[in-house]
Amino acid sequence: MMRYRLLSPLLLGGLVALAPTLAGAVGVVRGTVVLPEELKAGRRFLGHWRVENTTVPVQAAPARGDTVVVLLGPKPQVLAPKNTPIEIVGMQANPSTVVVGEGAVVEFRNSDKVSHDLSVPGHPEIMPPERLSPGTVRKQRFGISGEYLVRCTEYPHVVISVIVTSSPFFAAVDEKGGFKLPDVPEGPATLKVWSNGRWVHEQSVEVTPRGLDVTLKVSGAANPTEQ
């Protein structure tokens, strides 16, 4: 009995260690996204003036999670749909970008003291305008792959990016631009960067069993593909 008790964890650990090998080689894709200044400004809508004060240094814009890296592999993969919550508080959405599978339901919760009129402009069939009163939740299903910008009519700076994809490999970029995609099957793949409501970068990569470390430099002149 004692021998079985000692062997069981070893056996289980060995199976876990061999699982990727049995299923095929996988690796970790990690890297850094270098955004141009205009994408790091932190403002979508500028007024006439934006000048620094002369007393204290200006702080960098906080990362709001609106830059996401998505890896699209050659092998067909399915991202299971699940409910994804988004909270609107302090006149901003958190997170401001979500990646969901086809058929997923996104829950919009309004924690502000003001109402928000949310919709996908130009696609009422996807998400028609509807007033979201303070403290209420709106659940919206996204059944078709694509990229959708959910906007608030009253407060246009409130923009929520909903990326509906079948790829389970995606990650939000941190304040330093780093990201990490674990358990990526080996083989050719495409890395795409979503930031400020549009695809700003796309790069083909070859994922090896040892993993991949890339630096994605987003050009300022990148072709905006805002949806």
Partner 1 sequence: MFLSKIWFILVALLAGVAVTAAFVAPRPADRRIEQLEGQRLDRAQYAAEQMLKNDARRWIDYVAKLGRDSHLTEALDSSSRGAGEPKALHETVRSRLKALVPDRAGIGVESLIAVDKQGRVVARVGDDEGEYGESLAGAEVVGDALRGYLSDDVWGAAGRLRRVGAAPVTSKSRDRIVGAVVVAVDTGKRLADMWKRNLGVDVAIVLGRNVVSSTLPEALLGQLPELIEQHATEIANHKRTRPLILYMGNERMLLIAAPFVGEASEQRAYYVLLNKQSPGSDPWVLLSNASSDDLRWGHFPWMPLAFGILAMIGVGLLLQRTEVEGPIRRLRTEVHSLARNEIQKIDDTKYGGKLGGVARDINATVERFTHAAPPKSEMAKKDIAAILDRGGSADGQSFDVSRAKPTPPTPAPNPASVAASLFGAPKLPPSVGVTPTPVSVPSLPAPSPQAKAAPTASVNRTLMMPNLRSPIETTSSNSGEFAAVSASALIEAPSPPPLRRDLTPPPVPTSTAFAASVATPKPSVRLAPVDENAVHFQQVFEEYIALRIKCGESATSVAADKFFAKLRSNREQLIAKYNCRSARFSVYVKDGKAAIKATPVRS
Contact set with partner 1 (CB under 8 A)? 42-53, 55-62, 89-93, 112-113, 151, 153-158
Answer for the pair 106, 98: CB distance below 8 angstroms, yes or no: yes
Return the CA Rg of the chain.
21
Of 88 and 164, nearer to partner 1 (C-beta) is: 88
CB of residue 194 to partner 1, shortest distance in Å: 20
CB of residue 74 to partner 1, shortest distance in Å: 39
CB of residue 8 to partner 1, shortest distance in Å: 51
From the list 104, 151, 109, the residue with the least C-alpha distance to 127 is 151
Angle (CA) 147 153 155, round 5°: 100
CB of residue 102 to partner 1, shortest distance in Å: 29
CB of residue 146 to partner 1, shortest distance in Å: 21
Of 71 and 160, nearer to partner 1 (C-beta) is: 160
Of 44 and 210, nearer to partner 1 (C-beta) is: 44
Of 17 and 56, nearer to partner 1 (C-beta) is: 56
From the list 195, 67, 196, 88, the residue with the least C-alpha distance to 152 is 88
Of 97 and 167, nearer to partner 1 (C-beta) is: 97
From the list 91, 92, 98, the residue with the least C-alpha distance to 114 is 91
CB of residue 224 to partner 1, shortest distance in Å: 14
Pairing of strands 178-185, 26-34: antiparallel
**How far apart (Å, rounded) are the C-alpha atoms in residues 139 and 25?**
38
Give 87's strand partners. Answer: 94, 109
Of 1 and 46, nearer to partner 1 (C-beta) is: 46
Instruction: Using alpha carbons, list the distances in angstroms from residue 132 to 84, 110, 155, 156.
Output: 17, 7, 12, 15
